[in-house]
Chain A
Amino acid sequence: MNSASSTFISRFLQSRIVWPLAGLALLLLFNLIFDRAFFEVTTRDGNFYGPMLTVMRLSVVVMLLAMGMTLVIATGGVDLSVGSVMAIVGTLVAFLAVKHHLGFPSLLGVAISVSLSIGAFNGVLISCVGIQPIVVTLIMMVLGRGVALNITGGSPLQVMDSGVLFLGKSFIMGVPVQIFLVLFVFAITVMLCRKTAIGLFVEAVGDNETASRLSGVNARGIKVLVYIFSAVCAALAALVSIGDAGSVDPDGLGQMLELDAITAVVVGGTVLTGGRFTLLGSLIGALLIQTLATTLIRQGMDSAYAPVPKALVILVVCLLQSQKFRAQIASLIGNFRKPTS
């Protein structure tokens, strides 16, 4: 093996995404052994169907949320309001389509501008007023759900707009549209973070806000920006989710998804204390969560106990990510080996 490829492998093994990937691989291995049908792919009308594709399609919502959440967490914050932003945007879009017959461009405009304002509101309260992120976004989480419920009086609504339905249900070259959407958002975000200084600034703010400000980084601006980005991601997630489901339930849409998004980010290898982040890791984290959920449903796991294996998988991946834990395990194994050798 030449040295170039061996450094590549060792770099890969040290990167953060290796552990969530390992978790995902284990789950797929489980399915390969116990549930071969999990990997079946069929075509109908030229479109691909199958459990794996369903997993990918269903994880798009959490992937979108997780991308916004990654940047927020990288600045040392957290955004608990994304589920409620989804509820407001989803309900409002469905409502305007049904009652006021707005077309898709206007609906998209409404979705973006509403989420932009909510994100800016969060960001300004956090960075300029100095309230803690968990408090501000918790307020928005509670308030947002109430607003969403009041739009329709809590009743579910059918989604009528063909553009929204296209986002959730259609295929391009046989592949579900939302997979392209999430790849597009991912590509743009990675470009903005890695080809410009924004990513560096985000990490700087998360590592040490005062130091970053003293060295000329506009820390406040960066913080407002990441909360806006998170809310806009939530708006896109809402459009995908309601397009897929075909109707909106204001009390259920996005509920608890903020926790799934945080889980995806943490499992993906970004630490909650801020600083370095990995967007790819968060996508893998989201995929891992959905693969697990689908596996449990297919295995007929009683829903009342399903959270237990979910918690276990998260725990294992997080433990493996901890260098300290790995060192302890390694030394344990070392101690175990010594007497025999």
Chain B
Amino acid sequence: MKHTLTTSSLRWTTFALLTAAVTTFTGCDKKADTQSANPQGGGKKLVVGFSQVGADNDWRVAETKSIRDEAAKRGIELKYDDAKDDMSKQLAAISSFIAQGVDAIILAPKVETGWEPVLKEAKAAKIPVILVDRGIKVSDESLYATLIASDFVAEGKMAADWLAKKTGGKANIIELEGTPGAAPAIDRKKGFADGIAAFPEMKIIAAQSGDFKTAKGKEVTETLLQKHGKDVTAIYAHNDNMALGAIEAIKAAGKKPGQEIIIVSVDAVKAGFESMVKGELNCAVECTPLLGPAAFDALDKILKNEKLDKKTVVADRVFDQSSAAAELPNRKY
């Protein structure tokens, strides 16, 4: 073994071995059952455990609802656990799912690391684990079946494509970045840079972090507009909150947001849609929480022993002022 055994990993390993032993004795005929039976029709009802990191915002609530609804639609019994943003609770929930002998586990992980022991436990019990919305770092990729998520890089690229089309490939852009080091901030920046690379006349004249916050988005935009003045023709924000702040800054500078300066953002939450309907925000690339259908499609493939990619990208949509009004009533988050 490469790493030294700390007390906690020792505890986990023992626990994993014990549970593995228990499930081998108690769970073998049931396993054979589900493998042979058609997962969709009749036979034994599938049981899936879903460990959600928390329910503190509407995006997560929408994600949970999507998974619940899809499970109900397919006649699958869903065991749901809300970890209330606590990693240890989430680890405990997965252990408990394994002990209950569920057929699969869906996990919306809180952080990237620390999952190895519990996932080895699941693997030993032959329970496939499907990750949703965020990836994890493990030394052995076979510890999880697949990751169902939006592709942040693709979101950045879609924002760039829309802006290129809107401006005819000519723009001086302020980029409002997310919190330095956060995965969405890094990937949305990269995707956007890739997207505008084909257009030599699209330039990012300033890029600063607004920490994903409205007030900071406004502060940064206000200061950058004072510095770069008339040069700025477009703003790309890594989330809607910062875009909303930027719109206020543009108004405070005596300009018309959405007309004199084009604003593109990612997330497409309800407030973003309201702003598009008002004619201020120009475009929002969706980061969808509706991962249920894709998650259970992946489960189908696993049960049928079909090949599955390590990452399943859920298609995000692009909304602009022309399509916002129609979609607004459907926005719950």
- Cα(A37)–Cα(B245), bound, Å: 24
CA gap between A300 and B223 in the complex, in Å = 11
Give the distance in Å from the alpha carbon of A176 to the alpha carbon of B212 in the complex.
26
Q: Does B219 contact A (CB under 8 A)?
A: yes
Q: For B218, what are the chain A residues with a Cβ–Cβ distance below 8 Å?
A: 244-246
Q: Name A153's closest neighbour in chain B (CB-CB).
A: B58
B254 and A255 within 8 A (CB): no
Determine whether the beta carbon of B208 is less than 8 Å from that of A156: no
Q: B180, A169: Cβ atoms under 8 Å?
A: no
Contact check, A255 vs B213: say whether CB atoms are below 8 A apart: yes
A169 B252 Cβ-Cβ under 8 A: yes
Q: A149, B223: Cβ atoms under 8 Å?
A: no
- Of all chain A residues, the one with the shortest Cβ separation from B247 is A246
Q: Is A155 an interface residue (CB 8 A)?
A: yes
Q: Is there a chain B Cβ closer than 8 Å to A183's Cβ?
A: no
State which residues 211-250 of B face A: CB under 8 Å: 211-216, 218-220, 222-224, 226-227, 240-241, 244-245, 247-248
Chain B proximity of A300: nearest CB distance (Å): 6
Known: A155-B333, A169-B252, A249-B214. A149 touches B56 (CB 8 A): yes
Distance to closest chain A CB from B289 (angstroms): 12
Within 8 A of B (CB), among A230-262: 241, 244-249, 251-253, 255
Query: Is there an interface contact between A155 and B271, defined as CB atoms closer than 8 Å?
Result: yes
* B220 partner residues in chain A, CB cutoff 8 A: 297
With A50-B226, A245-B218, A252-B213 in contact, do A303 and B269 touch (Cβ < 8 Å)?
A: no
Q: Tell me if B194 is interfacial: C-beta within 8 Å of chain A.
A: no
The complex places the Cα of A300 from the Cα of B58 at a distance, in Å, of 34
- A155 and B57 in contact, given A247-B214, A252-B215 (Cβ under 8 angstroms): yes
A44 interface residue, CB < 8 Å from B?
A: yes
Cβ A157 vs Cβ B271 within 8 A: yes
A75 to chain B, nearest CB (A): 29
Closest to A52 in B: B226
Checking A58, A150, A249 against B241 with a beta-carbon cut-off of 8 angstroms, the contacting residue is A249
| Chain B neighbourhood of A153, CB < 8 A | 57-58, 61, 333
Does A158 sit within 8 A of B, measured CB to CB? yes
Whether the pair A249, B213 counts as a contact (CB closer than 8 A) is: yes
Residues from chain B with Cβ under 8 Å of A194 in the complex: none
The answer to whether A51 and B223 have CB atoms under 8 Å apart is yes
Q: Which residues of B contact A54 (CB under 8 A)?
A: 222-223, 226
A residues 19-55 near B (Cβ < 8 Å) are 37, 44, 49-51, 54
List B contacts of A50 (CB < 8 A): 226
Number of A-B contacts (CB under 8 A): 107
Contact check, B241 vs A252: say whether CB atoms are below 8 A apart: yes
Q: Which residues of A contact B252 (CB under 8 A)?
A: 169
Q: Which residues of the other chain, B, contact A154 by a CB distance below 8 angstroms?
A: 56-60
A317 to B188, CA, bound (A): 38
Contact B244 A247 (CB under 8 A): yes
Question: Which residues from B are CB-within-8-Å of A326?
Answer: none
- Of A58, A150, A156, which contacts B271 at CB under 8 A? A156
Q: Once the chains are docked, how many angstroms separate the CA of A294 from the CA of B215? A: 14
Q: Is A146 an interface residue (CB 8 A)?
A: yes
Check if A101 is an interface residue, CB within 8 A of chain B.
no
Q: Answer yes or no: B209 CB below 8 A from chain A CBs.
A: yes
A51 & B226 in contact (Cβ 8 Å cutoff): yes
CB distance from A305 to the nearest CB of B (A): 9
A304 near B271: Cβ-Cβ < 8 Å: no
Partner of B215, one of A44, A158, A253: A253
Residues of B within 8 A of A37 (CB): 226-227
B274 at the interface (CB under 8 A from A): yes
Q: Is the CB of B214 within 8 A of A251?
A: no
**Least Cβ–Cβ distance between A67 and chain B, in angstroms:** 19
Contacts A303-B180, A304-B180 given: A156-B213 contact, CB under 8 Å?
Answer: no
A sample of 20 cross-chain residue pairs with beta-carbon separation below 8 angstroms, ordered by A number, consists of: A51-B226, A54-B226, A61-B215, A149-B56, A152-B58, A154-B56, A154-B59, A156-B214, A156-B269, A156-B271, A245-B215, A245-B218, A246-B244, A246-B247, A249-B214, A297-B208, A297-B219, A297-B224, A297-B227, A298-B226
5 interchain residue pairs of minimum CB distance: A154-B57, A303-B209, A252-B213, A304-B180, A246-B248
